[in-house]
Amino acid sequence: MNKVYEGSCFCGAVKFTVSGEAVAMGYCHCDSCRSWSAAPVNAFTLWPPSSVMVTQGKDKLRGFKKTPGSHRQWCEVCGGHVFNDHPGLKLTDVYAAAIPSYPYKAGVHVNYANTKLRMRDGLPKLKDFPKELGGSGEAVAE
């Protein structure tokens, strides 16, 4: 049986669940994620879309498509960021901060070549993305 974790936007108007285990977790250092999150790094969890279910406030979700591969969603009430759909990858990024009960454990840093915050945590640091996600898979120094 899949474990279910509850999450929400900043104000709680949008509530959702994720079930099972994330496909991947890590930190993104790209300019886009840093700008979107207004932070030097963004913690992500990637899920199959079928594992993510909005349970309240679906009508409060708004979105923005910066690129064909990035469909960001937020709550219209508080502006809290909730999801980033990646249709080409068939994955949904649920921002780690939005699911506080999920046992987040980063496994990788992506787009580390663009970092503004060096993190010496022993995790792999990739120049861009893993090869299987269309990147070079090239590692960079911590």
- Cβ count near 26 (within 10 Å): 24
pLDDT value of residue 5: 98
What proportions of the chain, in percent to the nearest 5, are helix, strand and coil? 15, 40, 45
Domain ranges of the chain: 4-133
pLDDT value of residue 132: 86
73 forms beta bridges with 63, 83
Rounded-to-integer distance, Cα 84 and Cα 91, Å: 9
Identify the CA nearest to 107 among candidates 24, 18, 22, 19.
24
Assign domain 4-133 to its CATH architecture. Answer: Beta Complex (2.170)
pLDDT value of residue 71: 95
Mean pLDDT by 10 residues, the chain (142 residues): 94 98 96 91 97 98 93 97 94 96 96 95 95 92 90
Identify the CA nearest to 8 among candidates 77, 65, 71.
77
